[in-house]
Amino acid sequence: MVKTGGKNILFDPFIKPNPLAKDVDVDSIQPDVIMVSHAHGDHVADLVEIANRSGALVVCSFEIHEWLAKQDIQHTIPMNIGGTVNLGFAKSKMVSAVHSSTFPDGSAGGSPAGFVVYNEEDCFYYAGDTALHFDMQLIASDFKLGFALLPIGDHFTMGIEDAIRAAEFVRCDDIIGMHYNTFPPIEIDQQRAKNSFEENGLRLHLLNINETIEF
């Protein structure tokens, strides 16, 4: 979750089924906005419950919006790649991700995506689950990022080396790593990862569950 413009944005809630998040109290999470990058179970597991309880606005693909509507979640903003929405406290542009997107039941979840969120105090990139791709260079041409959240676990997404190239593509020195250690195929050597980023003049931040960082 990121706090900017006085509001809380929650990304891709995967908490109750996540063994790493066993000490997180889902009922304590109070987002104003939930942004959903794609439909895989490890990104939407707690989406309906949190959206229902909090009344948070959900920003997502049109297909995820339709899936939520069937579950009586009406407070959504459906969009697609390249679009920008004004949330009042910030704007968010939906950008490309190279991945897949299906719901746990196998139905289509639309195109996978990332988000660039920006206002007068912050500008950051949430990549979602993605491979390295050249469209990331377009982000650097349009935005000056303060930080970026990039997957680093390999196997299902970028690994360390490609995440370093992604940081160079988007011209951002402060990277928050995500999508690692949850399952055996994406376990990483955290110190090696930090060293690799540092050797390339970058800072990799690997947060503990419930840890907070400020930029």
Report which secondary-structure segment, H or E, holds 194: helix 190-199
> For 36-52, how does the pLDDT look when each residue is reduced to its tens digit (9 = 90+)?
999 999 999 999 999 99
User: What's the first-to-final CA gap in the chain, in angstroms?
Assistant: 14
Task: Give the CA count within 13 Å in the CB-facing half-sphere of 32.
Answer: 12
Same domain as 136, residue 82: no
Statement: the pTM of the whole predicted model exceeds 0.75 = yes
Same domain as 139, residue 59: no
> What pLDDT score does 61 carry?
98
Query: pLDDT exceeding 90 applies to what percent of the chain?
Result: 100
State how beta strands 33-35 and 7-11 pair.
parallel
Same domain as 73, residue 25: yes
> For 148-188, how does the pLDDT look when each residue is reduced to its tens digit (9 = 90+)?
999 999 999 999 999 999 999 999 999 999 999 999 999 99
Same domain as 201, residue 131: yes
Average of per-residue pLDDT across 93-104: 97
CA dihedral 49, 2, 131, 66 (to 10 degrees): 30
Average of per-residue pLDDT across 66-74: 96
Per-residue pLDDT band for 124 (boundaries 50, 70, 90) equals very high
Read off the tokens for 127: 């990549």
Give me the residues paired with residue 123 across strands. Answer: 118
Read off the tokens for 149: 């959240």
Is 104 part of any domain?
A: no
Same domain as 87, residue 127: no
Is 106 part of any domain?
A: no
> Residue 49 is part of a domain; what is its CATH number?
3.60.15.10
> For 105-122, how does the pLDDT look when each residue is reduced to its tens digit (9 = 90+)?
999 999 999 999 999 999
> What pLDDT score does 17 carry?
96
> What pLDDT score does 52 carry?
97
**Cα–Cα dist 57/28, whole Å:** 17
Q: Residue 137 has what DSSP assignment?
A: H
Report which secondary-structure segment, H or E, holds 51: helix 47-54
Is 103 part of any domain?
A: no
Average of per-residue pLDDT across 12-34: 96
Is 136 part of any domain?
A: yes
Same domain as 148, residue 68: no
Read off the tokens for 105: 């039941």
Q: Helix, strand, coil % (nearest 5) of the chain?
A: 25, 25, 50
Same domain as 142, residue 65: no
Is 105 part of any domain?
A: no
Per-residue pLDDT band for 12 (boundaries 50, 70, 90) equals very high
Same domain as 153, residue 60: no
Same domain as 43, residue 81: yes
**Cα–Cα dist 169/187, whole Å:** 25
> For 137-147, how does the pLDDT look when each residue is reduced to its tens digit (9 = 90+)?
999 999 999 99
> What pLDDT score does 60 carry?
98
Same domain as 92, residue 14: yes
Same domain as 71, residue 137: no
The Cα angle at residue 10 between residues 100 and 46, in degrees rounded to 5: 65
Contact 44, 19 (CB under 8 A): no
**Cα–Cα dist 158/196, whole Å:** 14
Is 179 part of any domain?
A: yes
Is 12 part of any domain?
A: yes
**Cα–Cα dist 130/90, whole Å:** 24
Owning domain of residue 166: 122-215
Is 73 part of any domain?
A: yes
Per-residue pLDDT band for 9 (boundaries 50, 70, 90) equals very high
> What pLDDT score does 116 carry?
99
Domain boundary among 118, 147, 163: 118
> What pLDDT score does 176 carry?
98
* Number of domains into which the chain is organized: 2
